[in-house]
A and B are shown apart, each in its own frame.
Chain A
Amino acid sequence: MQTLTKRLDYLFRSTRGLTLVAIAVVSIITAIYGTLSGPMVEWGVRDITVNILGMKLLEAEREGRIIMLYHTIAMTILAIEIYFMTEILPMKSHEQVTINATMTSGYLMAVIFGLLFAYWGHNFTYHGLFLVGQSLVFFAGILFMAALWPWKKEYRLEKDSPYAHTKGGIDLERMAFFIMALAAIISASFGAVTGSFWGNGHETFLGEDLIRVPHKTYLQKAIIGHLHIMLTLVAVGITLIVGRWMKFKGILQKIAMPLMVIGVIGTTTGALSVVWLEWAHTIIYVGSTFIMLAALMYVIYTWDLLIKEGTAGIEKPTFLQKVGALLKDPLKFGPGWQMVFMNFTVSGVGIFMAVKLDEIFRVWPHREERITLTGHWHILAALIATIILMYYADLSGLKGKVRKWFGWLLIIMSDIAFASATIFSMKRLFVDEINQQGAVNTLMLLMDLGLGIILVTLAIFLLWRLYDLFQEKGYWFKEFAAEKRLNAEAELIEQKRKMEELNAILKETSE
C-alpha cells in the first residue's frame, strides 16, 4: 500500500510527476484519436479502434467531436504549463499546491468527461462534468494570477537586478506571465460566453469552414478570435517558461519583457476585437510583431549563451567550434531553433497568405485555402509540444547519448514533418493540380515518417518512465526527493521572511 502511496505522491504532488501524468494523458489521447483519421483510416485501423472501444461516431457530430478533442488536449497543455510556471516562479508553497490541485482535477475532469460525451454518446451528465472541469481550470487560472500578482512587495527586484524591472522594482518577466494569464482568462470567457449559446441559437462549426463566409455572426467571430488567441497565449507561455529555464537576463531580456507585455496586450485586444472591429487584424499584426521580437531576443540570448559556454575553454574559437558549441545540446538549442523554424512554417505562411490572399489563395478552391490554414496552426501547436517535451526531458535528467538522440530526433523529425506539411499545403504553387500524385506521395510519406518517429520516440521515453516507476528507488524517487528538498528550502526561506515580518510587527506594536 505504501508503495502505491509513494508513487501517487510523486505523480500527483510533484511538478515532474504531475507533468509526466499530463504528458501521458496527451500521448494516450494522441495514440487513440490519431487512429481515427489520415493514413490510419486507409489502413483500416480506425474501424478497429471504433469497434474495440465501442465508440459511437455519427457523421453529423464529427465537428463537435473534434472541438471537444481540441479542448481536452488544450486543457492538458495548459496544465503542463501551469505546473512548470508554479515551479519556476517564486510563490508561496500553499499557492503552488492549491493551483496545481485545482488545475489537475479540472483538466482530468475535462478530459475524461469531454471525451466520454463526444465519443461515447451524448450523455449530458458527461457534458455537465466536462464544463465543471473547464471551470476548475479557469479557477486555477484566477488563483495563478492572484499568486503571481506582480505588485507584491516580496517579488520586487533590486535596482541593480539583471532582470527587466520598472523603476519601482516590479519584475517585468513576472508581469509578462501575469498579463499572459490574464489574457487567457479573458479569452476563455469569450469562448465560454459563446459556448453557453450552444444549442440555443449557436451551432457547432470549425473556423476553417467559415473563412469565405462574408457575413459571420458575432458568436462565430468570438470563437474565431478565441481559438487564435488561446493558441498564441500557449505559445507565449512556453516562450516565457524556456526563458526562465535558460536564465534569460541582461539587456536583451530588459528589452524583451516590455515588448512581450505590450505584444500580449495588443494581440489579445486585436484577436478579441475581431467581433466588432473591421480593422482588428491591424492590431493583431502590430501586437504579434512585438511578441516575435521578444522571442527573437530570447533566441539571440540563448544561442549566444550556448556558444559562450561551449567554447569557454578556447581562447579564439573558430566558426565551426562555435557552431559545434551551439549544437552540442539539442535540448537547449531546440526551443530557440523551433521558434526560428516557426517563422517559415507558421508566421511566414500566415504573412504570405495575408499579403497574397486575393492574388493567390482566394483564387484556389476553398479546400486548398483551408488546408493551408489548418496546416499552419496544427504546426504551431505541434512545435509548442516539441518545446514542452525538450524542457521536460531536461527536467527528467536525460543525459549523454540518450539526451542527444531524443533531442535531435525531436528537432529533425518534427522539422521534416512540418516542412513537408507546409509544402503540401502550398503544393499548387509548385505543381499543377493534375500532376500532384508524386508530390503528394513524397510529402505524405515524409510527414508520416517524421510524426511517426516522434511518436515512437515519445512512446519509448514514456515506457522508460513507466518502467522506472516500478523501481524501488528509480529516477522518480530521486526527482521527488530533490523537489521536496527544494520546496523545503524555499519554505524555510519563506518562514524566515515571515518570522522577520512578524517580529517587526511585534516590535512596532510594543513601542
Chain B
Amino acid sequence: MKQTLFILTLIALTVAACVPAPSVGAITPPYVDTGIDPESWALIPAGEFPYGQHDHMTNVDYDYEMMVTDVTNEQYASFLNAALADGTVSKGEVDVEAGEQVWQEVGIYGYYPGDSFDGYKHEEEIKAGDKLFLPTQAEGVRLTETNGIFSSIPEYANHPVTMVTWFGANAYCEYYGWHLPTEIEWEKAARGTEMVNGYGFPFPWGGHIERNNANYYSSSDLFEKMFGKLGNTTPVGLYNGKTYDGYETLDSASPFGLYDMAGNVWQWMGDDYPDQHYRMLRGGSFYSYAVDLRVWKNNSAGPQYYSPQVGFRCAR
C-alpha cells in the first residue's frame, strides 16, 4: 500500500509538471512604457578600464557612443521597411548554412561579403552571398507584415528585437553607418572604469545582483507569472527604479547610463575572430542564470543563428 502511494505521488508530481506551459510566442503581455528612449545614445569616453574576469587594464583610445537600449522591434521594423524600399534587403526563400547543414528558410535576407577562411580545425567557412537576416515565418518573431509593410506587434513594440541573425544585426547597424560593438567596447560600456577593492564591477550596477535588477531565469520579473520561470523579454529600460503595477525595479543602468546590459537578451558582438568565426554574445538573457549575467561572461553562436533570447544594439 505504502509503495503504491509512493509511486502514485511520483506519477502525480510528474504529470503536474507536464501540464503544457505557455510558449514565449503563445501569449502577449501588456504594453509597458518604461520612459526610456530607445533612440538615445550614451558617450563612452576614451581611457582604460578593467577588462575580463581578471580585470586586465585595457585602453580604448577613442571616444565612442553606444545605444542606451537594445534595438527594439519597432526600430527593426522601420529598418526593414526602409531597406526593402531601397533594395538593400530582399524578401523570400534563402539558403541557410550552419556547420555541415544547409536548409532553406523564408525571411528577410541580404548580401554579406563573407569572412576569411583558413581551414582550421572546426573552423566554419562563412562564404560571400545572401544571408538570412530574420525568418519572418518562424514562431517567436514579433514583427508582422501587412501589404508589404512591417510593423511590430504593438505590445512588443518597445521590447528588444529577437530572432535576428548576426547578419541581420550587422546589416541594421551598417545601414545607418554604425557598427556592432566589439567585445571590448561592449564591456567597457557595461561595467565602466571603476575598481572597488581591486575588482571591476561584475554587473553594470555594481557588485551584487538582486531579482529586480534584471530579467533573468527565475528572477520573478513582471512577466514570469504569465510565461513561467523561463520568462520572456521585457521592455527595454524596464529596470530603471520605477514601479510597474506593483512590481518595483532597481535602477540598473551601467555607469555610462546604458540599460539591459545584463539580462533580457544576449547581444550580438561585432568581432570576427580568426580560425573560428563564431560570433560572440554578451550580457545573458531572460533564459540565463544570474552567473551568466556577469559582464565578462560570453556565449557564442554561428552568424546564422537566431533565437527568442538574442538581440543587439549598435555603437558608433
Which A residues have a C-beta under 8 Å from some C-beta of B?
A: 41-42, 58-60, 62-63, 203-204, 212-215, 278, 357-360, 362-367, 432-438, 440-442, 445-446, 449
Interface mask (B83-118 → A, CB under 8 Å = 1, otherwise 0): 000000000000000111100000000000000000
Task: Please tell me if B190 contacts chain A, counting CB pairs below 8 Å.
Answer: no
Q: Quick check: B294 and A59 within 8 Å, CB to CB?
A: yes
Task: Please tell me if B31 contacts chain A, counting CB pairs below 8 Å.
Answer: no
Q: Give Cα A438 to B20, complex, Å.
A: 6
Q: Quick check: A445 and B14 within 8 Å, CB to CB?
A: yes
Nearest Cβ distance between residue A212 and chain B, in whole angstroms?
6
Partner of A442 from the list B14, B122, B207, B278 (CB cut-off 8 Å) is B14
**Across the interface, which residues of B come within 8 angstroms of A435, CB to CB?**
23, 25, 139
**Across the interface, which residues of B come within 8 angstroms of A60, CB to CB?**
53-55, 199-200, 202, 294
**Across the interface, which residues of A come within 8 angstroms of B123, CB to CB?**
214
- Please tell me the number of chain B residues within 8 Å of chain A, measured between CB atoms: 58
- In the complex, residue of chain A having the shortest beta-carbon distance to the beta carbon of B203: A59
Q: Give Cα A213 to B273, complex, Å.
A: 10
Interface mask (B29-72 → A, CB under 8 Å = 1, otherwise 0): 00000000000000000000000011100000000000000000
Majority secondary structure of chain A interface residues (helix, strand, loop or mixed): helix
Q: Give Cα A442 to B19, complex, Å.
A: 9
Q: Quick check: A365 and B305 within 8 Å, CB to CB?
A: yes
Instruction: Given A358-B122, A365-B305, check contact A436 B230 (CB 8 Å).
Output: yes
**Across the interface, which residues of B come within 8 angstroms of A362, CB to CB?**
99, 122, 124, 302
**Across the interface, which residues of A come within 8 angstroms of B17, CB to CB?**
441-442, 445-446
Partner of A437 from the list B13, B227, B288, B307 (CB cut-off 8 Å) is B227
4 A-B pairs with least C-beta separation: A59-B202, A437-B21, A365-B301, A214-B275
Q: Quick check: B301 and A438 within 8 Å, CB to CB?
A: no
**Across the interface, which residues of B come within 8 angstroms of A212, CB to CB?**
276, 278, 300
Q: Give Cα A204 to B55, complex, Å.
A: 12
- In the complex, residue of chain B having the shortest beta-carbon distance to the beta carbon of A434: B140
**Across the interface, which residues of A come within 8 angstroms of B53, CB to CB?**
60, 63, 203
Instruction: Given A59-B207, A365-B281, A437-B23, check contact A449 B275 (CB 8 Å).
Output: no
Task: Please tell me if B22 contacts chain A, counting CB pairs below 8 Å.
Answer: yes
Instruction: Given A437-B21, A442-B18, check contact A58 B302 (CB 8 Å).
Output: no
Q: Quick check: A214 and B120 within 8 Å, CB to CB?
A: yes
Task: Please tell me if B228 contacts chain A, counting CB pairs below 8 Å.
Answer: yes
**Across the interface, which residues of A come within 8 angstroms of B274, CB to CB?**
214
Q: Give Cα A441 to B21, complex, Å.
A: 8
**Across the interface, which residues of B come within 8 angstroms of A445, CB to CB?**
13-14, 17
Q: Give Cα A62 to B296, complex, Å.
A: 12
**Across the interface, which residues of B come within 8 angstroms of A359, CB to CB?**
99-101
Q: Give Cα A449 to B14, complex, Å.
A: 10
Task: Please tell me if B243 contacts chain A, counting CB pairs below 8 Å.
Answer: no
Q: Give Cα A433 to B199, complex, Å.
A: 36
Q: Give Cα A456 to B255, complex, Å.
A: 46
A-B contact count (CB 8 A): 117
Instruction: Given A363-B302, A433-B308, A434-B308, check contact A62 B199 (CB 8 Å).
Output: no
Task: Please tell me if B222 contacts chain A, counting CB pairs below 8 Å.
Answer: no
**Across the interface, which residues of B come within 8 angstroms of A278, CB to CB?**
121
Partner of A214 from the list B207, B276, B307 (CB cut-off 8 Å) is B276
Q: Give Cα A204 to B19, complex, Å.
A: 42
Q: Quick check: A364 and B301 within 8 Å, CB to CB?
A: yes
Q: Quick check: B290 and A41 within 8 Å, CB to CB?
A: yes
Q: Quick check: B18 and A437 within 8 Å, CB to CB?
A: no
Nearest Cβ distance between residue A180 and chain B, in whole angstroms?
31
Q: Quick check: A366 and B301 within 8 Å, CB to CB?
A: yes
Task: Please tell me if B291 contacts chain A, counting CB pairs below 8 Å.
Answer: yes
Q: Give Cα A432 to B163, complex, Å.
A: 13
Q: Quick check: B122 and A357 within 8 Å, CB to CB?
A: yes
Task: Please tell me if B130 contacts chain A, counting CB pairs below 8 Å.
Answer: no
**Across the interface, which residues of B come within 8 angstroms of A41, CB to CB?**
218, 289-290
Q: Quick check: A366 and B278 within 8 Å, CB to CB?
A: yes
Instruction: Given A434-B24, A435-B23, check contact A363 B98 (CB 8 Å).
Output: yes
Q: Quick check: A434 and B275 within 8 Å, CB to CB?
A: no
- A sample of 20 cross-chain residue pairs with beta-carbon separation below 8 angstroms, ordered by A number, consists of A41-B289, A58-B202, A60-B53, A60-B200, A62-B291, A63-B53, A203-B54, A212-B276, A214-B123, A362-B99, A366-B278, A366-B300, A366-B301, A367-B292, A433-B140, A434-B23, A435-B23, A435-B139, A437-B21, A437-B24
Q: Quick check: A365 and B299 within 8 Å, CB to CB?
A: yes
Task: Please tell me if B8 contacts chain A, counting CB pairs below 8 Å.
Answer: no
Q: Quick check: A438 and B21 within 8 Å, CB to CB?
A: yes
**Across the interface, which residues of A come within 8 angstroms of B10, CB to CB?**
449
Partner of B275 from the list A215, A365, A440 (CB cut-off 8 Å) is A215
Nearest Cβ distance between residue A455 and chain B, in whole angstroms?
16
**Across the interface, which residues of A come within 8 angstroms of B54, CB to CB?**
60, 203-204
- In the complex, residue of chain A having the shortest beta-carbon distance to the beta carbon of B302: A363
Interface centre among B55, B99, B122, B290 (most CB of A within 10 A): B99
Q: Give Cα A445 to B17, complex, Å.
A: 7
Nearest Cβ distance between residue A456 and chain B, in whole angstroms?
13
Nearest Cβ distance between residue A168 and chain B, in whole angstroms?
45
Nearest Cβ distance between residue B196 and chain A, in whole angstroms?
10
- In the complex, residue of chain B having the shortest beta-carbon distance to the beta carbon of A44: B211
Nearest Cβ distance between residue B220 and chain A, in whole angstroms?
9
Q: Give Cα A232 to B228, complex, Å.
A: 39
Nearest Cβ distance between residue A70 and chain B, in whole angstroms?
16
Q: Quick check: A432 and B14 within 8 Å, CB to CB?
A: no
Q: Give Cα A367 to B298, complex, Å.
A: 9
Q: Give Cα A292 to B287, complex, Å.
A: 37
Interface mask (B142-183 → A, CB under 8 Å = 1, otherwise 0): 000000000000000000000000000000000000000000
Instruction: Given A365-B281, A442-B18, A445-B13, check contact A434 B25 (CB 8 Å).
Output: yes
Considering only residues 263-297 of chain B, those with a C-beta below 8 Å from chain A are 273-276, 278, 281, 288-292, 294
- In the complex, residue of chain B having the shortest beta-carbon distance to the beta carbon of A412: B10
**Across the interface, which residues of A come within 8 angstroms of B301, CB to CB?**
364-366
**Across the interface, which residues of A come within 8 angstroms of B120, CB to CB?**
214
- In the complex, residue of chain B having the shortest beta-carbon distance to the beta carbon of A215: B275
Taking A58-B202, A58-B207 as given, write out 9 further A-B residue pairs in contact, using a Cβ cutoff of 8 Å, ordered by the A residue number.
Answer: A41-B218, A203-B53, A203-B54, A278-B121, A362-B122, A437-B227, A437-B229, A441-B228, A442-B14
**Across the interface, which residues of B come within 8 angstroms of A204, CB to CB?**
54
**Across the interface, which residues of B come within 8 angstroms of A432, CB to CB?**
139
Q: Give Cα A495 to B88, complex, Å.
A: 92
Nearest Cβ distance between residue B167 and chain A, in whole angstroms?
15
Nearest Cβ distance between residue B53 and chain A, in whole angstroms?
6
Q: Quick check: B121 and A214 within 8 Å, CB to CB?
A: yes
**Across the interface, which residues of B come within 8 angstroms of A363, CB to CB?**
98-99, 101, 302, 305
Q: Give Cα A438 to B24, complex, Å.
A: 11
Q: Give Cα A440 to B25, complex, Å.
A: 16
Q: Give Cα A441 to B227, complex, Å.
A: 12
Q: Quick check: B98 and A365 within 8 Å, CB to CB?
A: no
Q: Quick check: A214 and B21 within 8 Å, CB to CB?
A: no
Q: Quick check: A366 and B20 within 8 Å, CB to CB?
A: no
Instruction: Given A438-B20, A441-B17, A441-B21, check contact A358 B99 (CB 8 Å).
Output: yes
Q: Quick check: B307 and A365 within 8 Å, CB to CB?
A: yes
- In the complex, residue of chain B having the shortest beta-carbon distance to the beta carbon of A432: B139
**Across the interface, which residues of A come within 8 angstroms of B302, CB to CB?**
362-363
Q: Give Cα A441 to B18, complex, Å.
A: 7
**Across the interface, which residues of B come within 8 angstroms of A437, CB to CB?**
21-24, 227-230
Q: Give Cα A472 to B99, complex, Å.
A: 67
Nearest Cβ distance between residue A1 and chain B, in whole angstroms?
44
**Across the interface, which residues of B come within 8 angstroms of A365, CB to CB?**
281, 299-301, 305, 307
